[in-house]
């Protein structure tokens, strides 16, 4: 077997009743004929968006023609190396809520801030907070009775929901107020949390929270609060082949057998309709099933399905593009060295 045909065969991971076959990868870049040629890589690679939900900030895309090291590099960069702005320093002046200061500060730090970190500089230790490296917010909120309930006795309020007779009983992320530094108000549109209804704390009568907050530029490798994604992961595309025709009632039986509705019947024959939905439960190739010798289950080791779930600071498309740019920059710097 020549190198080329061996490489073609090695692309597929196979599932049997006994286990998984050909599930390892080759670590040496020059293992296959012409595997290090950039031109061949450019010809083989293909990227397409399969699903995009702008409201939820989710995207599923297919990348063909890459191997595990590149796929994992993309995943790691999206999670840990794309910069964002996040609350890093909290000056707490008053906190009479039930939540301890350190827990409250931690909750504040995890609120995603809608700001383009690429328009800010990383703050050095010797620098002061300024319009080029920081964003400032303030949180001043006090829980009091609503006017119509101010003269009522506590006994008259029993059975009522605190939100019915109290103002500011729930502190939301929308209560964070942007305090522009320098000429930020002229340079940027209103900077605010990505989501307005994130619950920070719950207050009762006469409890209050008063603090100033400073946002700095950082990356997820330093702390998860700087990560632009809630998660970014990949899986291999299923490669399901019907090696021998399955017809008539047997085709209908196969369709009912699969819990994920991967198979369908067309023209009286069984066909693979939804390979993406296969969970490789192997129900169709059990030893007691007559389809065992007629169906081949596998995964394409050069076809990755990426799922990107943004926290809302950037769109999933922007996150993916930024990850590609960063990998390109790393590769060029390595080449120069």
Mark whether 55 and 168 lie in a shared domain: no
pLDDT of residue 27: 62
Mark whether 164 and 177 lie in a shared domain: yes
Q: Which residues constitute the domain of residue 168?
A: 84-223
Q: How far is CA 316 from CA 54, 112, 282, in A?
A: 8, 15, 33
pLDDT of residue 164: 85
As for how many domains the chain has, the answer is: 2
pLDDT of residue 134: 97
DSSP state of 247: B
**In contact, 77 and 323? CB cutoff 8 Å:** yes
Q: How far is CA 66 from CA 24, 70, 74, 135, 203, in A?
A: 15, 6, 11, 39, 52
Mark whether 114 and 92 lie in a shared domain: yes
Mark whether 89 and 191 lie in a shared domain: yes
In a domain, residue 34? The reply is yes
Mark whether 54 and 91 lie in a shared domain: no
Output the domain CATH number for residue 29: 3.30.1360.10
Helices 316-336 and 68-80, packing angle to 10 deg: 110
Mark whether 18 and 141 lie in a shared domain: no
Mark whether 208 and 153 lie in a shared domain: yes
Q: What is the pTM of this model?
A: 0.85
Number of other residues whose CB lies within 10 A of the CB of residue 94: 12
**Secondary structure class of 38 (helix, strand, coil):** helix
pLDDT of residue 240: 92
Q: Mean pLDDT of successive 10-residue segments in the chain (337 residues)? A: 56 85 71 62 87 94 91 96 97 97 96 96 92 97 90 80 89 97 92 96 95 97 96 95 91 91 93 92 82 90 95 96 94 75
Mark whether 125 and 51 lie in a shared domain: no
pLDDT of residue 163: 84
Output the domain CATH number for residue 186: 2.170.120.12
Helix then strand then coil, in percent of the chain rounded to 5, is 30, 35, 35
pLDDT of residue 6: 54
pLDDT of residue 325: 95
134-142 vs 46-53, strand pairing mode: unpaired
Mark whether 49 and 157 lie in a shared domain: no
In a domain, residue 249? The reply is no
pLDDT of residue 224: 95
Mark whether 16 and 52 lie in a shared domain: yes
């Amino acid at each position: 077997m020549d190198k080329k045909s061996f490489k073609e065969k090695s692309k597929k991971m196979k599932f049997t009743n006994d286990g998984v076959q050909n599930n390892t990868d080759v670590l040496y870049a020059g293992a296959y004929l012409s595997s290090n040629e950039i031109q061949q890589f450019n010809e083989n690679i293909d990227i397409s968006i399969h699903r995009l939900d702008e409201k939820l900030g989710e995207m599923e895309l297919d990348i063909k023609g890459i191997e595990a090291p590149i796929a994992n590099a993309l995943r790691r960069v999206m999670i840990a190396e794309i910069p964002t702005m996040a609350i890093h320093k909290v000056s707490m002046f008053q906190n009479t809520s039930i939540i301890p200061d350190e827990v409250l500060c931690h909750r504040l730090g995890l609120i995603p801030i809608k700001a383009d970190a690429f328009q800010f500089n990383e703050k050095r230790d010797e620098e002061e907070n300024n319009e080029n490296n920081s964003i400032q917010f303030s949180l001043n909120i006090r829980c009091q009775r609503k006017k119509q309930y101010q003269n009522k006795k506590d006994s008259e309020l029993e059975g009522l929901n605190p939100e019915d007779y109290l103002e500011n009983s729930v502190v939301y992320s929308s209560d964070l107020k942007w305090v522009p530094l320098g000429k930020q108000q002229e340079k940027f549109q209103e900077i605010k949390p990505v989501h307005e209804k994130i619950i920070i704390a719950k207050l009762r009568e006469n409890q209050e929270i008063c603090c100033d907050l400073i946002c700095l530029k950082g990356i997820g490798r330093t702390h998860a609060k700087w990560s632009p994604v809630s998660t970014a992961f990949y899986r291999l595309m299923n490669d399901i082949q019907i090696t021998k025709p399955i017809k008539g009632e047997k085709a209908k039986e196969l369709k009912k057998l699969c819990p994920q509705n991967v198979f369908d019947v067309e023209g009286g024959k069984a066909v693979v309709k939804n390979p993406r939905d296969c969970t490789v439960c192997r129900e169709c190739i059990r030893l007691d099933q007559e389809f065992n010798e007629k169906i081949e289950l596998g995964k394409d080791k050069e076809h990755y399905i990426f799922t990107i779930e943004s926290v809302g600071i950037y769109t999933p498309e922007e996150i993916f593009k930024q990850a590609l740019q960063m990998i390109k920059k790393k590769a060029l710097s390595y080449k120069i060295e």
